[in-house]
């Protein structure tokens, strides 16, 4: 496609002399070759932009620097790139409606219209599957599970008994919903298991990444609310509540009975202790550990986590501690008493 055609699709501003340049593929700034288009949306990649071999780059409207590629100027380069990407990549894989002969489905379950159920899927007694669900190979759906419309379960997903899954939920490979919460009490010198009799509720438009786990509640429910997106390798403990439109990055761990508000971001490897409350629009930086309540609209960082301003001030002092230590030792040497 020519840059003129691409610019029209994303309402980009383009210099007239660039209109006839041809694009055949997409690539990152660092990996691009002639014929590729890329995008620039983060100042961290300015060095890569200056050296890119791409024929064209989607740029913010405010960008003024001269670069070696043709520039397409748009309000949001990342969003524009997402529009262009399907033009140069294979079509998404689709799954035709139907039930594979090897699937084991209880006659006492209910399967909605237009579902695609793959090989070796198991659906147990009392399960209800909404319309147009895609359930890929080797998924397990336990007794009395309710799965909404237009859900997509990738291979090897497990949903245990009595869990509730909303509409348009995506569960990636290896996800386990409704395993027992981790609850034990020391009695007579032995760890005795506390029964985990509750369930998990996942609301509409939630996505859960590969090999993540959401434990069932001791009683009541573990609850993930509408629009929240969860990365790979995340552990969510029993009776946790996560609000709407949150982002949980890889290797986050949340202990039992913690409550998280709406629009919260937990960066990679954040750990939350149990029985705490996180307000709305809180951001917690990567590898932070949190053991206390956090009010809304707060940025936290560190282990133990603290407000970002305090962390920066304390870190600046910590960097000078060796210098201060040496000065104290020198003063002590001059004045032993």
The reported pLDDT for the residue numbered 79 is 96
Q: What pLDDT is attached to residue 320? A: 85
Mean pLDDT of 202-219: 98
CATH classification of 98-310, choosing from 3.90.1330.10, 3.10.150.10, 3.30.379.10, 2.160.10.10? Answer: 2.160.10.10
Backbone dihedral angles phi then psi of residue 319, each to the nearest 5 degrees: -60, -25
Confidence of residue 12 (pLDDT cuts 50, 70, 90): very high
Tell me which of 175 and 333 has the higher pLDDT: 175
Per-residue confidence (pLDDT) for residue 337, from 0 to 100: 67
Identify which of 298, 317, 318 has the alpha carbon closest to the alpha carbon of residue 308.
298
How would residue 127 be classed by pLDDT, with cut points 50, 70 and 90? very high
Cβ pair 57, 68 in contact under 8 A: no
CA-atom Rg of the chain in angstroms? 26
The answer on pLDDT for 316 being more than 90 is no
Between CA 232 and CA 83, with CA 115 as vertex, the angle to 5 degrees is: 55
With tokens 């336990």, the residue in question is: 142
Dihedral sign from CA coordinates of 66, 69, 70, 74: negative
Q: In the block, which residue shows the tokens 């609310």?
A: 225
Catalytic (active site) residue 152: no
305-331 average pLDDT score: 87
User: Distance between CA 133 and CA 128 in Å, rounded?
Assistant: 11
Alpha-carbon distances, residue 209 vs 34, 260, 311, 335 (angstroms):
34, 19, 31, 62
* Cis check: omega of the bond before 304, within 30 degrees of 0: yes
Q: 336 pLDDT exceeds 80? A: no
Closest-CA residue to 300 (of 317, 278, 328): 278
Mean pLDDT across 300-319 = 88
Share of the chain above pLDDT 70, in %: 100
Q: Do the two domains 3-87 and 98-310 of this chain adopt the same fold?
A: no
CATH superfamily for 3-87 is MurE/MurF, N-terminal domain (3.40.1390.10)
Q: Which of 70, 152, 172, 238 is catalytic?
A: 238
The residues, any chain, with a CB within 8 Å of residue 314's CB and separated by 6 or more, are 306
Give the confidence band of 309 by pLDDT, cuts at 50, 70, 90: confident
Residue ranges per structural domain of the chain? 3-87, 98-310, 313-337
pLDDT at residue number 124 = 98
What pLDDT was estimated at residue 331? 87
pLDDT at 156 over 70: yes
Q: Which pLDDT tens digit goes with each residue over 167-200? A: 999 999 999 999 999 999 999 999 999 999 999 9
């Amino acid at each position: 496609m020519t840059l003129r055609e691409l610019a029209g699709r994303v309402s980009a501003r383009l210099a007239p002399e660039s209109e006839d340049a041809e694009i055949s593929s997409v690539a990152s700034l660092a990996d691009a070759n002639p014929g590729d288009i890329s995008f620039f949306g983060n100042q961290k990649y300015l060095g890569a932009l200056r050296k890119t071999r791409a024929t064209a780059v989607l740029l913010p409207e405010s960008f003024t620097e001269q670069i070696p590629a043709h520039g397409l100027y748009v309000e949001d380069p990342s969003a524009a790139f997402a529009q262009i990407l399907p033009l140069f990549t294979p079509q998404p894989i689709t799954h035709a409606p139907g039930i594979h002969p090897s699937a084991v489905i209880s006659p006492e379950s209910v399967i909605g219209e237009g579902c695609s159920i793959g090989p070796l899927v198991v659906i147990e007694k009392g399960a209800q599957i909404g319309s147009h669900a895609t359930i890929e190979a080797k998924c397990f759906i336990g007794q009395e599970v309710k799965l909404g419309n237009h859900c997509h379960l990738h291979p090897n997903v497990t949903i245990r008994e009595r869990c509730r899954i909303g509409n348009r939920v995506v569960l990636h490979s290896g996800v386990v919903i409704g395993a027992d919460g981790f609850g034990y009490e020391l009695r007579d010198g032995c760890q005795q298991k506390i029964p985990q009799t509750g369930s998990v509720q996942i609301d509409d438009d939630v996505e859960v990444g590969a090999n993540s786990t959401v434990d069932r509640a001791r009683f009541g429910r573990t609850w993930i609310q509408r629009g929240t997106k969860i990365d790979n390798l995340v552990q969510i403990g029993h009776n946790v509540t996560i609000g709407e439109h949150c982002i949980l990055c890889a290797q986050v761990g949340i202990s039992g009975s913690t409550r998280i508000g709406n629009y919260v971001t937990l960066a990679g490897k954040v750990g939350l202790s149990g029985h705490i409350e996180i307000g709305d629009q809180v951001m917690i930086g990567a590898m932070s550990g949190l053991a206390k309540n956090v009010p809304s609209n707060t940025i936290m960082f560190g282990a133990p986590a603290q407000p970002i301003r305090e962390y920066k001030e304390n870190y600046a002092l910590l960097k000078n501690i060796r210098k201060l230590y040496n000065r104290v030792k020198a003063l002590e040497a001059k004045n032993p008493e």
